[in-house]
Amino acid sequence: MSAEAAETELREVRGPSALGGGWRRSLELLTLIAVTDFKKVYFGTALGYVWSVARPLMLFGVLLAVFTQVFRIGDQVPEYPVLLLFNIVLFGFFQEATITAVQSIVGQESVVRKTQFPRLVIPLAVVLTTLFNLGLNLIVVFAFILIWGIDPTWTWLLFPVIVLLLFVITTAVSMIVSSLFPRFRDMAIIWSVLATVLFYATPVLYPLEIVPETLRDVIQLNPLAPLFELARSWIIDPTAPGPVESAGGFAPLLAPIAIYVFVCVLAVWVFRREAPYIAERL
Amino acid sequence: MVIEARGIHKSFRIPEHRIDSLKERAAHPLTRLNYRELHALRDISFEVHKGEFFGIVGRNGSGKSSLLKILASIYRADAGTVRMAGRLAPFIELGVGFNPELTARENAILNGVLMGLSTRQARRGLDEVLEFAELEDFKELKLKNYSSGMMVRLAFAVMVQADADIMLVDEVLAVGDARFAEKCMDVFRERRRAGKTIVLVTHDMGTVQTLCDRAMVLHDGGQEYVGESEEAAVRYMRLNFAGQEVTEGGVRRAAVPDINARVVHAQLTDGAGEPTENVEHGEPIRLDVLLEARRDLSKPTFVFYVAAKDGVVVFGFSSELDNGQPETVVAGDRVRLAGSIENALVPGHYGVVCWVRREGFGGDMGVQPLPLLDFMVYGTAPRHGLVSVSADVRAEALPGPGS
């Protein structure tokens, strides 16, 4: 038996975790699950891709009518229609990914309970699939921006930074809501309400500079706000105030940055804590 | 050694009043939750050697599934360590992750990867899988258009392909028709010949005896025995067909009681009325059983089964209260069941269980069998089958038709 022991080395098995089974395997599973999810969305329905573009476009149409014909915010903001479309698509990514993520782990119940499976892969796959969606939507959006007559600037090259920052916070939130859902089933409702609140508390429908001072201070705590302001000044309107300008200095920006970092750290902590016990709670 | 488990503990906290939502938590922020601690596994230690077919046996609720899930990295043990050498593949369910919207080809790859293959391995083995399942012509057909038989064939083919150093197999894999179960077992036998290690979780002693080299018996989360599968089978039978109390390390603990009745005592007696544990082949089996009603039993029926040690029921019979007695046995009252049973059993180990059934309350059935006793039939009679019956068949030599 000692010869056998020498031949194969015993390694400790620590049970399920966020990335159990190693990076390589997690990555493979991630690709596989994301591609499968993607196929389900695009080949399961008759019009597939058309829907994923049609949804933000329809929302855009309605909001554009309301905010240029009824409330007339649009009149005060240069290039309002493109800004609105651009913002809706960006925020749509955050909202769709996090809301789908809430029930994602429970939705993959059989996989979680019947196989060795790194837990993190499930919400991550949701975010990736939605990211792919975002990519497809952005093609339409950028076509629209060019047709509208906005000239490309060198700052367009910085756009991936915004997508990356948005991707990170979306992943963090998805990790929190998906790992807590098996424990607290009303996470789904809570999050759908919170996501709606966030939609209005983020400069999506309006640019920050037209918001009254006191309210602006509150909105500026939202870590998504500076991202949307950056996106606006880099892509749509180079003359628009960036996050530093509208905050009146770099110091007030420390709050949303701190919140951003806090959410990310919290996500890692919560997920690592919950991951080993998810299968028991399904 | 390929698996080494040391001192594994696992308990589940079952809240008496389950708080599933934040609202309930917020409404009672100070209430301490009353949890019932369910000890699913207590201090389990064992080793599995390379190339071994190892069985984990126990009744439902004995903790065997929890142990399987800990070995498979689905649950995390509260204490103790598990160490393994090589890659492990759990076979807990066929066709995990199958998606009806995807084609057979895509599902085969998905399922293969979930079973532990790399994407490349799964792709490479795809043709073989489809050929084995005899589904080459349907590989681009969506799974929702498959018949259930085709789906099982596909899932099974993927399982055959998903190779690993250690295979963890759950008995639920083998439910369904007997031919399919046999086919599954063939695959595992063949894998073992190829030097793989197999761990099988089951409650079927027959499988353990025929397939396993060694086995572990679990009972109420505790480890009763690890060793030879024959001995494990005997221990398992004793646990399940023995009297109502099990003695372990000087501590007597009650086996799970039936809600209808409990066993006060159950004894096999010899011709002189003295307690005994064995019966000679051909001698009548004399029983003396005292049951206590745990609730009112209206027109009770006592159904007896005599089973061989592999769990196969040899015969059964039932008795009822004689006429003239009260129709209802009040809770706390006792019933004596005594008499003799004709003994045609071949020598071997047997057990007797009793189901207590009430009548009149919407056809109330026995909830679970009361294990009464186990005993041995000894003798020199040939051990063919389960019972020996008198036969009058003569052999006569005849000249061939040609002569």
Buried b (16+ CB within 10 A) or exposed e, A128-164: bbbbbbbeebbeebbebbeeeebeeeeeeeeeeebbe
Cβ distance of A16 and B12 shorter than 8 Å: no
How close A174 gets to chain B, by Cα (Å)? 18
> Between A5 and A105, where is the model more confident?
A105
pTM of the model: 0.72
Q: Is the pLDDT of residue B256 over 50?
A: no
Residue B133 near residue B157, CB atoms below 8 Å: yes
Q: Do A277 and B76 touch (CB under 8 A)?
A: yes
pLDDT in tens, A17-64: 887 777 888 888 898 888 888 877 777 666 767 877 888 888 889 988
Measured between its terminal Cα atoms, the distance across chain B in Å is: 67
Range in A153-157, A255-259, B389-393 with the lowest mean pLDDT: B389-393
- Tell me how many residue pairs between chain A and chain B have CB atoms under 8 A apart: 115
Closest Cα in chain B, distance from residue A148 (Å): 40
Higher pLDDT: B41 or A282? It is B41
Considering only the beta carbons, identify the residue of A186, A277, A280 that sits closest to B23. A186
Contact B71 A40 (CB under 8 A): no
The average pLDDT across B213-238 equals: 83
The 10s digit of each residue's pLDDT in B55-86 is 998 877 788 888 998 998 888 888 888 988 88
- In angstroms, rounded to a whole number, what is the distance separating the alpha carbons of residues B200 and B212? 8
Residue B139: is its pLDDT beyond 60?
A: yes
Question: CA separation (Å) from B44 to A113, A118, A277?
Answer: 22, 25, 20
Identify the three-state secondary structure at position A12: strand
A113 with B74: Cβ contact below 8 A = yes
pLDDT given for residue B246 in this prediction: 43
Cβ distance of A279 and B69 shorter than 8 Å: yes
A192, two tokens? 């759908």
Query: String of b and e for B315-329 (b: at least 16 CB within 10 Å)?
Result: eeeeeebeeeeeebb
Domain boundaries, chain A: 17-277
Main-chain phi, psi angles of A18, to 5 degrees? -60, -45
Q: What is the 3-state secondary structure (H, E, C) of chain B?
A: CCEEEEEEEEEEEEECCCCCCHHHHHHCCCCCCCEEEEEEEEEEEEEECCCCEEEEECCCCCCHHHHHHHHCCCCCCCEEEEEECCCEEEECCCCCCCCCCCEHHHHHHHHHHHCCCCHHHHHHCHHHHHHHCCCHHHCCCEHHHCCHHHHHHHHHHHHHHCCCCEEEEEHHHHCCCHHHHHHHHHHHHHHHHCCCEEEEEECCHHHHHHHCCEEEEEECCEEEEEEEHHHHHHHHHHHHHCCCEEEECCEEEECCCCCCEEEEEEEEECCCCCEECEEECCCCEEEEEEEEECCCEECCEEEEEEEECCCCEEEEEEEECCCCCCCEECCCCEEEEEEEECCCECCEEEEEEEEEECCCCCCCCCCCCEEEEEEEEECCCCCCCCECCCCCCCCCCCCCCCC
If one compares B32 and A225, the residue with the highest pLDDT of the two is A225
What does the pLDDT read at residue B378?
Answer: 84
**To the nearest whole number, what is the mean pLDDT of chain B?**
79
B69 vs A9: CB contact, 8 Å cut-off?
no
Tokens of residue B135, six digits? 């589904």
Residue A224 to chain B, least CA–CA distance (Å): 26
* Distances, alpha carbon B278 to alpha carbons B241, B260, B305, in Å: 15, 29, 18
B101 vs A15, A44, A279: nearest CB: A44
CB contact under 8 A, A43 and B101: yes
pLDDT tens for each residue of A210-224: 889 889 989 999 999
Nearest Cα to Cα of residue A281 among A144, A178, A164, A150: A178
Residue among B73, B84, B120 with most chain A CBs within 10 A, to mutate = B73
- pLDDT of residue B262 exceeding 70: yes
Handedness of CA B173, B176, B178, B183 (dihedral sign): negative
Judging contacts by C-beta atoms under 8 Å, the chain B residues touching residue A11 are 83-85
pLDDT at residue A97 in the model: 95
Chain B residues touching residue A1 (CB < 8 angstroms)? 1, 49
Q: How confident is the model at residue B20 (pLDDT cuts 50, 70, 90)?
A: low
Residue keyed to tokens 């919560």: A270
**pLDDT for the residue numbered A124:** 94
Q: Which of B49, B75, B110 sits opposite A280 (nearest CB)?
A: B75
Indicate yes or no: CB of A111 within 8 angstroms of CB of B96. yes
CB atoms A16 and B76 under 8 Å: yes
CB contact under 8 A, B83 and A15: no
The pLDDT, as a whole number, for residue A104 is 92
- pLDDT score of B244: 42
Which of A10, A43, A114 shows the shortest C-beta gap to B93? A114
pLDDT at A192: 94
Under an 8 A CB cutoff, do B93 and A8 touch?
no
* Chain A interface mutation, best of B2, B49, B76, highest count of A Cβ atoms under 10 Å: B76
What are the structural domains of chain B?
3-234 (3.40.50.300), 261-378 (2.70.50.60)
Q: Is the pLDDT of residue A173 over 90?
A: yes
Residues of A in contact with B83 (CB under 8 A): 10-13
Interface of A with B (CB under 8 A): 1, 4-5, 7-16, 20-21, 25, 28-29, 31-32, 36, 39-40, 43-44, 110-117, 184-187, 190, 276-277, 279-280
Give B366→chain A minimum CA distance, Å: 31
* Whether the predicted pLDDT of B141 surpasses 60: yes
